[in-house]
Amino acid sequence: MMKPRFRFGLIVLPALTAIALSPLALFAQNKPTKEEKRLEASQRSAQGIVTDADDKPIDGAVVQLKDMKTLQIRSYITKPDGSYHFHGLSRNTDYELRAESKNLYSATKPLSVYDNRKVAIINLKVDKK
């Protein structure tokens, strides 16, 4: 019985074609839809650094973000460099930010609907009881 000559070629060519085209498929999947673009345009983020009275970053401080429409509070525990970030915030909502560490608090800072920054940098200093 004769064996097919191009058996290896029939297996390798489709596999090579799939490997060659896979970056194109990944690129096509990463293209955002119109809805994703609209949603992204209607969102913003808030980030910053929490420091102590000596302007040293605080690791493990709790930053609270209060939605002034729903009064819902989201929390973030700062990283070793004192940084925090909140993503996916509505541009149509006012927020308040406050930090706490070891029974000391920062002043409450607003993030207004009139603040048109895509990324609002709001640094917080923890120094009040």
For residue 46, CA distances in Å to 53, 74, 76 come to 22, 12, 11
pLDDT of residue 82: 97
Q: pLDDT tens per residue, the chain (129 residues)?
A: 555 555 555 555 555 555 555 555 555 567 777 665 565 667 999 999 999 999 999 999 999 999 999 999 999 999 999 999 999 999 999 999 999 999 999 999 999 999 999 999 999 999 977
Whole-model pTM over 0.85: no
Domains along the chain? 43-128 (2.60.40.1120)
Q: Are the CB atoms for 110 and 36 separated by under 8 Å?
A: no
